Amino acid sequence: MNTRQRMQALRRSGVGPVGMADAGGIAAVPEHPACVIGSGQSCEHSLVDRELNRQLFTYEQTVRGRFARIVGVLKQISAHQHDATFAERAQQLALEQLGFELPREVLDDAWVSGLDLRALHSHCIFNSLKLCVERASAEQAGWSQRLPIDSNLLHSCGYHTVDISPCADGRLQGIAPYVLRLLPAPNVRVKAYAGALFDVDGDVADWAQREVERLSGAMEDGDRLNYLKIAVYHLSSSNPGAQGCAAHGSNDRQATESALSRLDELREAIDRSFGVGAAPDVLLIGVDTDLDALRIHLPDAFGDVNPHRYIETGKIYRETLGLSAEAARVRIAEMIADVESTGGWGQGQGQMRDGMRRLVSALAEANLSQIEYVIKHHTGRYAVIGHDEECIVAGEAVRTLQLRNLFYFAHLDTVEEGAPDMDVGIKIFRNLNVAHGLPVPVLVHFEYDSRIPGSRQRAVDRACRVRDAIVGRYADLAKKGLLTCAMAVSDRNGDECCDFVADEAVADH
């Protein structure tokens, strides 16, 4: 794309320079907060890994394509449901265009009462997820090796484990590999909660387990490394009053302060339980989901986080665009130092420790690639700045599925404790699916430990209980055929990943 084409694309998407007008004299839309280009300029930053961006976009297109084809294929199949060879033709279409077969009984019964397109739609959603999981190793191999923030970098910053709790909103489901450019690994955990309001008791238990592993010597270099908890809230720069965090009524201030409050509660709980000074490091990050730009709040020397003390990667991109890589890194360091020394609301008690500063710098630099990714591949702002998820995943995360708006995730052990998260997800899908006559597809997924006898069966049993509770809680949808559940389990210490224990398992009520 040449400079003129890029500028035209940016103007169409609402990211062109202020003051410009088209040939008809129509006033330009507001400028993009990260990249305002002039004649002969382009949004190409010296610190951006464009090959990584290319590979990530290819992966995004591959995954999106699996789901984008579903409706069109089902429409083709529906048009032939009264043909004599309908079942065979339908299976052929599904295999050729979707990569899997359809349930034979649904096809065979179509002549009696019509084709159950709701059942087929859910079947296609779940089986497309299966394909994404099954092919993840091959499809993610190229870009995963290029992600700049890996275990080695985390260790160099002083962390053996990074536990991330983003909002359950589907727009944050690509938080690790895309937005943060962080390599998924056993020591990187992502557990999403509505509003980023993670369970403090559960996090204390997770921290304690890792402490046992560290103290037992099971963790390499554990004696000199720490645990880091990150909470990630989100906002919308182009429509803050409607497309912010639904759990906080699109109130950015409430989203920020609530996430920070959970981090403070976690530190206090661990200090009270295990002694002052035992608490892990914490970091608060905001994501503008229109652009995938970050707002990184800087801890002070005591690890305290102030909601008013932060750097913005959109501003960093804009102010360092056109600089050499070396000069850009120097300027990033200066901008971080400027915020650290800010008086008034942002004043903390001293500067961050060196390891935290190194991590903040790495996150800021890595996110510049994601900002440019959205500029180049999504014309500056995502076409859909709100919800566009394919399904709900409830229980524990499927680690290989990490892509923006692929699914809404509700981390839970029981439906009762995860009710607020599930309610938000169901509300979203009442608009996305139910309003159009389609069911809400819910994948109930739990992990097990193959080293522990009977662990897999207990995970299956838990999935059954959660599935039944979901159907019971949303009985109005289930009775109308507007809620479909599937169950899957994964071995957290083995090769089995998202193995479906039932294709379509809905309890009878």
Torsion sign over Cα 153, 156, 162, 167? negative
Which residue(s) pair with 43 in the sheet? Answer: none
Name the nearest CA neighbour of 267 among 211, 215, 200.
200
Single out the catalytic residue among 169, 252, 281, 300.
169
- Are 483 and 439 in contact by the 8 Å Cβ rule? The answer is yes
Alpha carbon of residue 156 to chain centroid: 25
| 215 C-beta neighbours (distance < 10 Å), count | 11
Is residue 139 within 8 A of residue 145, CB to CB? The reply is: no
Strands 499-502 and 483-491: antiparallel
Assign 485 to helix, strand or coil.
strand
What element of type H or E holds 393? strand 391-395
Residues in the chain, total: 509
Distance CA 123, CA 52 (A): 33
d(CA 132, CA 60): 11
Query: Measured between alpha carbons, how far is residue 160 from residues 179, 185, 224 in Å?
Result: 21, 11, 9
In whole angstroms, give the CA distance from residue 375 to residue 381: 7
- Within 8 A by CB and 6+ apart from 346, the residues are 306, 308, 309, 310, 339
The answer to whether 102 and 91 have CB atoms below 8 angstroms apart is yes
Return d(Cα 218, Cα 220) in angstroms, integer: 7
Number of H helices, E strands in the chain: 16, 11
Residues 6+ apart with CB under 8 A from 506: 467, 471, 478, 483, 484, 485
Contacts of residues 334-343 at CB distance under 8 Å and 24 or more positions apart, as own/partner, are 335/311, 336/298, 336/311, 336/360, 336/361, 336/364, 339/298, 339/309, 339/310, 339/311, 340/298, 340/300, 340/309, 342/309
130, 98 Cβ separation under 8 angstroms: no
Q: In this structure, which amino acid lies at residue 296?
A: I
The C-alpha atoms of residue 408 and residue 402 are separated, in whole angstroms, by: 11
| 264 given a catalytic annotation | no
Positions marked active-site: 169
